[in-house]
Amino acid sequence: MNAYYQFVAEVFFVMFILLTLIGSWLAVNARILMHSVLGLAVSLLGVAGLYFYLGSMFLTMMQILIYMGAVCIVLVFGIMVGYTPNESADKHELSRNMMLGLVTSGVAAFLLIVVAIGKTTWTQAVQTTGNFSIEWLGKSLLLEYCLAFELISVVLLIAIVGAIILARGGREEEI
């Protein structure tokens, strides 16, 4: 019975990895801009699934809430205003030189990775690396890493102020 559950869990793990990979491939390669953004959303969903496997349900939910529910929606909103469904980018034709370059760089990267993998001494992953409850997260963010947390909020504040300045300038020019 346990082996059966193990199998199901592994199938889901592989599915999340495939989601991440396929999504990122789509994000880079799609000819319709909307498909790229949706590919990005799928890829982020896959990453959320990987967080779930690392044992943090909270981080999973935050990934979905922030990256899918906010970032991707703003991107989609921007694209919606500018593009209609029948506009698509031109297909990129690969010339012979580019093909050769791709093959050489691919082989070189593969060899490098093979050498790197051979040289590294691998340590086995720990079963559970710590207690990732919300209490722990809150305490470490607000007590231990307080300065980093506050600095990030300052960055966000600057982004908001910048957005307001950009938007105001645009409106005044029109009038």
Partner 1 sequence: MEQIIKFIQTYSLLRMLLAFCCLIGIIFANAIVMGYLERKIAARIQRRWGPMEVGLQGWLQMILDGVKILSKQLIVPKDANRFLFRLAPLLCFTPVAMVFVALPISRSLYGINLNIGLIYIIAMGSINVFSILIAGWSSNNKYSLFGAMRSVAQNIAYEVPILLSLLAVVLTTSTFDLQEIVKAQSGPIWFVLYPNLFVAFVIYLIAGCAETNRAPFDLPEAESELTAGYHTEYSGFAFGLFAIAEYGNLFIMASIATIMFLGGWNGPFGFLSGPVMGAIWFLSKVFILMLTMMWVRWTYPRVRFDQLMNLAWKYLIPFSLVNLLITALVVKII
Least Å from the CB of residue 139 to partner 1: 13
In whole angstroms, what is the distance from residue 27 CA to residue 75 CA?
A: 12
Least Å from the CB of residue 11 to partner 1: 12
In whole angstroms, what is the distance from residue 67 CA to residue 76 CA?
A: 12
Helix H or strand E segment including 10: helix 2-29
Nearer to partner 1 (CB atom), residue 17 or residue 137: 137
In whole angstroms, what is the distance from residue 140 CA to residue 149 CA?
A: 10
Least Å from the CB of residue 153 to partner 1: 16
Least Å from the CB of residue 86 to partner 1: 6
Nearer to partner 1 (CB atom), residue 1 or residue 167: 1
Binding positions for partner 1, rule: CB under 8 A: 1, 8, 32, 34-35, 38, 41, 57-58, 61-62, 64-65, 68-70, 72-73, 76-77, 79-81, 84-86, 133-134
Q: What is the torsion angle, in degrees rounded to the nearest 10, for the CA atoms of residue 153, residue 157, residue 158 and residue 161?
A: 170
